[in-house]
Chain A
């Protein structure tokens, strides 16, 4: 699946997007896998209460299932307006 990062999450990880092969069943499991990869991922995902997640461009929660999902995005709380 495609994993996208925005704002300071993108800066910490150093990538705007990447393709990830995963068997994670939920967002939380995917986060665990990413955290275990490298320090920069661990830093970006240190506190998920400071993050938001969207699946196929819809906001959701970290316990949401990943079945059938093509695009996951991680970002800080939004600051529009």
Chain B
């Protein structure tokens, strides 16, 4: 299991190659990569992500451990950035490796749902007119947890 919280940008391709390397028993690897999206109508200049050092790592580890208990997984990876990000940059990535695809897909989906609303990150959008606003949590995100 690899949990990483970092400010630095990373290359999801290189992370995937490293994650998959050296294993011959995993038939399925699923990855999800979150990217800063410019919403178009109001010109996003940057996304600033605040987090709770200490709790962040603990929460991500606990979410990943739940996934490992529930699905048959060979490995799990979560990388989440904080700090100043610009549109097009990768925000975070999850990867799951399993013998079969269903476990890998479902565990990745579970990880994403949980880290949206249970990992202590807060996003703030800065637009080109200098306006900055905190991104509000969506009711849908909370409701998504009930699927699990």
Q: Given contacts A54-B120, A57-B52, is CB(A79)–CB(B112) below 8 Å?
A: no
Stretch at the interface among A22-30, A31-39, A40-48, A70-78: A70-78
Interface presence of A6 (CB below 8 A): yes
The complex places the Cα of A57 from the Cα of B118 at a distance, in Å, of: 12
Contacts of A76 in B (CB 8 A): 122, 134, 136-137
Residues of B within 8 A of A58 (CB): 55, 58
Chain B interfacial residues counted at CB < 8 A: 26
- Closest chain-A Cβ to B28's Cβ sits at a distance in Å of 22
| Residue B37 CB within 8 A of the other chain | no
Cα A81 to Cα B120 in complex, Å, equals 10
Question: Please, how many residues of chain A have a CB less than 8 angstroms from a CB on the other chain?
Answer: 16
Cβ-defined contact, A57 with B116, below 8 A: no
> CB-defined interface of B103-126 with A at 8 Å, one 1/0 digit per residue?
000000000100111111111100
Q: How far is the CA of A59 from the CA of B118 in the complex (A)?
A: 8
Residues of A within 8 A of B118 (CB): 59, 78, 80
Set of chain B residues within 8 Å of A8, measured between Cβ atoms? 134
- Report B47 CB to chain A, min CB distance, Å: 10
| Contact call A6/B54, Cβ cutoff below 8 A | no
A75 contacts which chain B residues (CB < 8 A)?
Answer: 52, 120, 122
Binding site for A on B (CB under 8 A): 34, 50, 52, 54-55, 58-59, 80, 91-92, 112, 115-124, 134-137, 142
Q: Measuring CB to CB, which residues of chain A are less than 8 angstroms from any residue of chain B?
A: 4, 6-8, 54, 57-59, 73, 75-81
